[in-house]
Chain A
């Protein structure tokens, strides 16, 4: 039992000893706090357009300046964070919710079910994800909900693959054999023994997909297929900024920085978790 996966509390305690993880955690917690704060308070109302204040560079009154309609950029970034996080998080939820059971099922059953599921995975992988997301949102109409579905669908095979690989490594172990000898069914074993042992693995993949989801949402919003005005979104802000870059470069720099910082934070968490999970990687540092 010595090589048994560590208890979750131990795992998180170890993760907090990792520099990448701590840095990423601080950044991500900050962004999440800003997004939560935006529900209760923003410096200005993001739906109020004050044309007289349009395109003001950053100042004491508007810390990050104002956009072409006189909306406060800081308030827009705060509400935009909410949108980015919601889309990416729900998309990860869809991917996990469908992909993990599929992957576990394939690993438990093996045989032709495994073959069919994995072949199906390959097919989804063959579609350039972004292009397909563009097709999906174009067909069902642009908007945050369809963006979530489009990004979520492409998370499914990723989680299915990770769950299957993780589960396959656990199945031959002695304690699983003991559970089978005790007469437990495959479903019960998966729920009681396999899932707890692949949680950390899924957590790492979840952070990576979260980060990719933020980037994908920004891309979709940028081409006009994500969140629709007046809902502020980082990608849309970049699109609006594009034609005004010469007069107001900060309009393009600020939303981009917000995306980079958020994705960086999540990637650092993912790296830290992966290091904690795989001691071989840790020794390498």
Chain B
């Protein structure tokens, strides 16, 4: 995985999340525009790069939020692990896969935010988490399409090739 293009992608996603997400709310729930990027990296990057890359993206997102530091890295680590586990059984380029991964990611996000909210209030309401999950899942195929089309830029290498090198 190439570092600079991935960094630019993360920068753009976080910029959009900060500048735009709360202005396009549905029922007071904003989408997570960073999640599709996390799914994209988890789907195509090698295991180590994906785990580390999404952790760092989460850390950067924490810097722009009021949630306790560490929440987003945990969320994205869990989502990346989940995507990696399901990877052999899924069609990575199908839009339905993207919706399902968006839903699964949203559910994981909701669970982690609720657990953290118990320890460090306030806890987000279930309705808001649900709407945000559905909203993000609906946006996933739309946001992932241009990313898939340009995935060569990121220089992802197949897992087997990586293992062969080791």
Partners in one complex: no
Interface residues, chain B, with chain A CB atoms under 8 Å away? none
B-binding residues in A (CB < 8 A): none
